[in-house]
Each structure stands twice: as C-alpha cells, then as structure tokens.
Amino acid sequence: MDCLQKGCGLVFLKMTMKHSTSGTMRLVCQRSGYRGWVQKITFGLVAQLDLVDLALKFIMISILREDHQMCCLQDLGDDSRFIEFYNLVFMQYNKKDDGSLEPLKQMNIDTGMGLERMARILQKVPNNYETDLIFPIIEKAASMAMVSYAKADDATKTNLKIIGDHMRAVVYLISDGVIPSNIGRGYVVRRLIRRVVRMGRLIGIRGDGHGNSEGAFLPSLAEVVISLSTEIDSDVESRRRSILGELQREEMRFVQTLERGEKLLAELLDEALLNAGNNGNKPSLSGKNVFLLYDTYGFPVEITAEIASEQGVTVDIEGFDIEMENQRKQSQAAHNVVRLSVGNETEIVKNIPDTEFLGYDSLSASAVIKGLLVNGNPVNEVSQGSEVEILLDRTPFYAESGGQVGDNGFLYVNGGEDRRQTTVIEINDVQKSLGNIFVHKGMIKQGSVEVGKEVDASVDAKLRQGAKAHHTATHLLQSALKSVVGSETSQAGSLVAFDHLRFDFNFHRPLSEEELTTIEALINQWIGNAAHVETKVMALQDAKNAGAIAMFGEKYGEQVRVVEVPGISLELCGGTHVSNTAEIRGFKIISEQGIASGIRRIEAVAGDAFVDYVCARDNYMRRLCLSLKVKAEDVNSRVETILEELRATRNVASSLRSKIAVLKAASLASRATTVEPQNVRIVVENMGDVDADGLKSAAEYLIDTLKDPAAVILGSSPGDGKVSLVAAFSPAIVEMGLQAGKFVSGIAKLCGGGGGGKPNFAQAGGRKPENLPDALEKARAEIVARVSGSS
C-alpha cells in the first residue's frame, strides 16, 4: 500500500488472511484506487484451514465479476489482535507519472504464505522472531551480551531481533558463494554483517564467547545458524569452515575502523545539531561526510542513516550519491566508452539498424557504411589522414564486451573495373554503443570514404586468435580456481586482450606458490587433452538449469550463448573462443596480487603470447647461466651463495664505517663547548658523508665520553640526496625537560624530513642536504639557549 501511495506505478487487488487471538481466521479483500486502498471488504469467519481454498476461490470469482455487494463486518487493522499470514496481490495496472492508469501487458496474481508466519501461529508466539527458526540465534546473542531477552527493554529486543534475522541471512548467502565486497550482492552481505557487528556492540557483546575479549563474535552466532540448518540444507554444514572464516575476517576488518568511525560520526552529528540550533534549520549530515564515513571507515550509508536518525539528524542521500558518482567517474576515467554525439544520438539511431555480427564464423565480409562520425558528429564523407568512427550494417569485427577487447583490422573500398583498392581504413578498436550498434574506430590511410559505400571488412586473424586463446583460457582459469581453492570463489571482473589476460576473483587471501603451480598444471593438462570447445544458443533458464556460470551484474536476453568445455567449464559468454583447447598451446601465470579488500587478480598469458613469454624467460636464463658460469639447475644455489657473501661484505663494511665514525668522534670530544651555569658539554657537528649507522655509533661514543650532563647533535650527507641526523642527551639533559625525539624532529623539518625516538636518543632524516649547515646552526643555538636557561 505504501508503495502505491508513493506512486510506484502498480494498482492491486489484495486479499489478506488474518489469524485472530480467538483461534479463528478472517479473510479481507482490499482494492487499490487512485488514492490508496479505497475498498475494504471483510468476509465471514473461517474456522478450519480446509475451508480456506474454497473461501479464496469465492472471493476471487466475486472480485473478477466486480461483485462487491458484501457487507463490511469490521476493520482488521488492529495488529495487536490479528496476524496477517497470507495475502494475494492482483497486479492489473501501471500508474504513470501523470497519474493515469494503463493496463499491464501481462496481468498476474502474486501469492505467498510466509513460513515464519505459519510457525508463529502454530507455536503461539507473539512475533516471527520468537519462533524456533530465529529465536535460538537471539538467545545466543543475548547470552553473549549477558542480558535477558524476556527482561530487556524494547530497544535491546529490537537489536537482538536484527541480529537474529541478519545472521540467518548472511550464513546462507555466504554458503551460496556470495562473498562480502563493495559491489553487487557482495555489498548486501557486507552491509548486513556490519549492521550485526554494530548491534552486537550496542547490546554489550565483547569477545568471541570463548574467553578471547578481542575475538570476533559472529562465528559463535553462525554456529547456531548452521546447527539449525542441518536438516534443511546440508550444504551449509559442509561449508562451515569457509562461512566461519569469512565472518571472522569481515568482522575483524570492520572493527579495526569502527571505533574511529563511530567517534568521527559522533563529532559530525554533534556539529550538525549545533549548526542547526544556531541557524534554526533541521539538523542534517552532508553527503560529503556520509561518503567519508563510507569510503574511509567502511560505514554503509544505511548504518550512518540509522545512527543519525537515532539523534534526530537527517542524511543527505542525494549528496552522497553525487560523491559516489564522482568516484565512479574518476575510477573509470581511463576506460574507453564510446558515445555517439549526445545531441545527435536519437537522430542517428533512427536511421541505423543494429549491427549484424558475423565474426563467430568468418573474419571477413562485405558490408555497407550506414554512418560516419568525426569527433562524435555525423558526416557524409571523410578523407585520408582523418580519424573516423564507422557504422556498418554487418561486420566480422568483435566489439569490446564481456571483458574481451575489440578486434583490429582493415576496411577496404574497391573501385574501378579491376576492383582495385581505392581506400584503406585501419581499424584499431571496435566498441558497442546504444545497444547493439558497432562503432569501428580507425584512421583513413588512403583515399576517402562516404556513407552508403560498400566495404570489404577484414579482421586481423593473428590478433583474433590471441583473443580467442586468452578468452577460453580465462574460462579454464575460473574452473581451475574453483577446483583448487574452493567453489566459493567467483569472478569479479576480467580483461581478455590479444597478448594477455587478467582475471579478478573474490578471495580473502593470497594464493600460495603451491596453489598457483597446481592451477597452472591443471589448466595445461586440460589444454593437452585437446578437448573440443562447444558453443550453443539456448534459453536462459535452460542454461542456468544446466549449471552454466553467469557473471553477476551482466544483463542477459531470453536466448543466451553458452560456451562449454565438456566436463570442465560451462559459462554464459558472447565472446570468441578456440574450437579446441589444444589451440591455446600453453598457459602461464605472470602474477597474483590483491587489488581491493577481498578481491585478488591473476594475470597470465596463453597462445602465442605464452610461447613468446617462455622463450624470453629462457633467453634471460641462458644469459644468467653464462654470467654465473653454472647450469640452469644450479642458478638458485649460486645466487644464494653470492647474496650471503654480499651480506657478509656489507656487514664488514658497516663495521669499518662505524669504527671510522668513532675515530672522527674522538677528535670532536676535545672540541666540545661547555655551557654555564650547569657545565653542560655540547657537541654539534657535520660529519660529512658518514652513513646513519656510523652517525649513531659516533653519537653513542660521544655521549659516553663526555659524561653527564652532555648533549650531542650530529648530521651528515651520506649521498643520494639524503640527510641523516642524530641527537643524544644524557639523563641530566632529559631531566631539564628536553627530549631528543622532539628536538631532532624539529631540526629535520628544515632538511625536508622528519624523525623521532626516545627522550635520550633519536634519529631523523631528510631530502635537502643543502640545508644541513643551517639546520645544525639552529640546533646549536636552540640547545645552548635551552640548557643555559635563556629560553
């Protein structure tokens, strides 16, 4: 009803079955109108469940006959007496923005009877949360918070209900392979988890319930959910380890920033309330601040809004959305998105049909030019030397989509009786725009071209083969990952280029060398098996029923293309692929790294790029073997020996430099300045190119030699534009209130650096050696002033 009154666009007939406290049931019919639910008719008491179907049929027939001549017995809006547990929604009209109604193309009836509602009635409890489906989770949370649910106030009960409801949801979601992240359904899980964490802290849960006060409490609650699911969904139990691990990692990750975020939010809310009081406006949290909490401290906007609401402060959601959009634009700035000139899009599309793609079966074809664009604006003719975007009626060129880059190649215009090439256009990218129109981007190398001309389109076969090899290898990689590290991994993005592939996936830790080796070996085994790659077009639902993997967030039509490597991989994919895995030739992982929280990235090569990579590495190894004068199998041990010798040599050199620095320091001791009235001996000197370790040794020697009270400040320029500083104070100097860390930090700033340390000894560095003399003079003046009592 609320959605209707806000103009969401649907008009309903609704029937509701309500269970009364007296044990009987009532059926209520309501019909929506222009201003909400305007008709409300109550039908007779139904005392037995076996009469429900008969009563519903009677009501439906009556409604469809427009027979509303039934008396209204009473208003059942009293939720303290009646429980709604079954309703029917008859969807008939679409309400347009101007308020007019139009019949839906497909009218339907939405029906549902909640399991929790039925359990509530049968178990005779006051709400869904106190049924045996959720209440055991609530009891566990209450015991961990050391509160009694029965005696708790309304706010605590609400928090416990949220914990019970959300915990059940996240356990099943993670069991189904939905991993917390910042995108799509992963973000839904993250929001639910973080809300549970906050609610748990509000009611007083501290620690994991097993004696570790710093531990995560979500796994303990998840154990209850898993035990409740044993006889319902055995898969949840089998995935216990991954569920508990994911919840623990996610909670600890959030807790690290939660306290700082809560403190900042409290400050922002106080500021909003203060400003509102001074200005007489309604207190509001700016979108920029909401985004700061989201981006820096991991606060989902819903949690921020909830906390703000508790203090009577509104949240600028529109401003937050703007900040989010700005971030998206920045992150996508390097992404090549084709848009036909905004002012001309509609006009162009009217005259240009969708492009027919021929590239699955052929790399060349004749086509007709339907449109030419220069700088996004339509033109009729383009000449040699110009960059141009060409729209064809049909093409063998693949347009960038599904992670695969667009094809390269040439368009030729042939003229004269001998069909001689009069125009040559080099195509360096193909993108999709406005649905399914292919935009061929290129440069006219020879001649000119005009709308309506016929061209011969030719795809670069070598580059296409590279894309095909890498695309099929990407499918094999996803299957190998699921096989080696777990079925819960899922694709988070990909790039299929001519010379490499990039695959992003959800996973919580780096892959080990052993895992990477196993994945490589498994993929190369599949390649060596020379498995036939099959492609077919089928209904989307049939593909899903067959177990085909779909990329979350992708939009699919009713008919989809399925790519299968029998027994290995089955995915929905519109990209180009090899016909046999043997065409991939080989597969090699180049790198594996984390790119975001919970997101890993693998980069790899296949096909000709694999051969080139292996040959290049072999060449490097040959040259290394020649330099080291060892066989390839002995390179590791030889390098380790050289590194050990280098470490030993460096230690000797460092020791010698320290001894030289101490010898220099010995000559400085006799030049120490004595400052009255406490006879403090001070040394402030530039020691040339002595390194940081040598400077430290010299300062330690001097402070021991000069005895208490003494202060030593030394500086040097060891090279590479670096500055080293050290300050050493005896106990009496520290008792005067001077601290070496603070003192040397202030001096280091003059040299473009900083540092710190203990009150009696500290080191610092900088990047401006030309400022060192002035910095040491300032250090001398300050230390003399401080110990003489003149400052």
User: Crossing angle for the helix pair 301-310 and 240-279, nearest 10 degrees?
Assistant: 50
Instruction: Give Dmax (Cα) for the chain.
Output: 116
Nearest to 411 by CA among 399, 400, 422, 398: 422
Residue 7 region by backbone torsions, left for phi larger than 0, else alpha for psi between -120 and 50, else beta: left
* Residues 701 and 721 sit within 8 Å (Cβ to Cβ): no
Peptide bond into 677 cis (omega under 30): yes
Residue 577 annotated as part of some ligand binding site = yes
Q: What share of the chain is helix, strand, coil (3-state, %, to 5)?
A: 45, 30, 30
- Whether 210 has a binding-site annotation, put simply, is no
For the chain, what is the radius of gyration of the CA atoms? 37
86 backbone dihedrals φ, ψ, rounded to 5°: -155, 130
Going across the sheet that includes 587-596, the strands are 491-496, 501-506, 599-606, 587-596
Q: Contact, 638 vs 628, CB < 8 A?
A: yes
Nearest-5° Cα angle at 471, 466 to 473: 95
- Coil, helix or strand at residue 676: coil
Angle, in degrees to the nearest 10, between helices 287-297 and 240-279: 150
- 394-395 vs 356-357, strand pairing mode: parallel
The β-bridge relationship of strands 754-757 and 761-766 is antiparallel
Amino acid identity of residue 379, one-letter, is V
Distance CA 564, CA 359 (A): 19
User: Please, what's the b/e burial string for 592-606 (b: 16 or more CB within 10 A of its CB; e: otherwise)?
Assistant: beeeeebbbbbebbb
Q: What beta strand segments (E) does 288-340 contain?
A: 314-315
Burial class (CB in 10 A: 0-12, 13-18, 19+), 591: exposed
Cα angle 601, 296, 205; round to 5: 100
Between 692-706 and 635-669, two packed helices, what is the crossing angle to 10 degrees? 30
SS3 state at 251 = helix
Query: What DSSP element (H or E) covers 580?
Result: none
Please indicate if the annotation marks 335 as binding a ligand. Answer: no
Q: Are 139 and 179 in contact (CB under 8 A)?
A: no
The answer to whether 470 is a known ligand-binding residue is no
b/e burial code for range 641-668 (CB count within 10 A of at least 16 → b): eeeeeeeeeeeeeeeebbeebbebbeeb
d(CA 144, CA 224): 13
H helix or E strand, kind and range, residue 548: none
Q: Which residues of 676-690 are buried (b: 16+ CB within 10 A; e: fewer)?
A: eeeebbbbbbebeeb
- Residue 760 DSSP class: S
- Rounded to the nearest angstrom, the gap between the alpha carbon of residue 51 and the centroid of all alpha carbons in its chain is 52
Q: Nearest CA to 382 among 439, 453, 432?
A: 453
Q: Please check whether residue 726 is in contact with residue 744, taking contact to mean a CB–CB distance below 8 angstroms.
A: yes
What are the angstrom distances between the C-alpha of 313 and each of 266, 275, 283, 324?
11, 11, 5, 21
Closest CA to 216 of 179, 256, 189, 182: 256
Question: What residues are designated binding site?
Answer: 471, 475, 573, 577
Q: Which residues are annotated as a binding site for Zn(2+)?
A: 471, 475, 573, 577
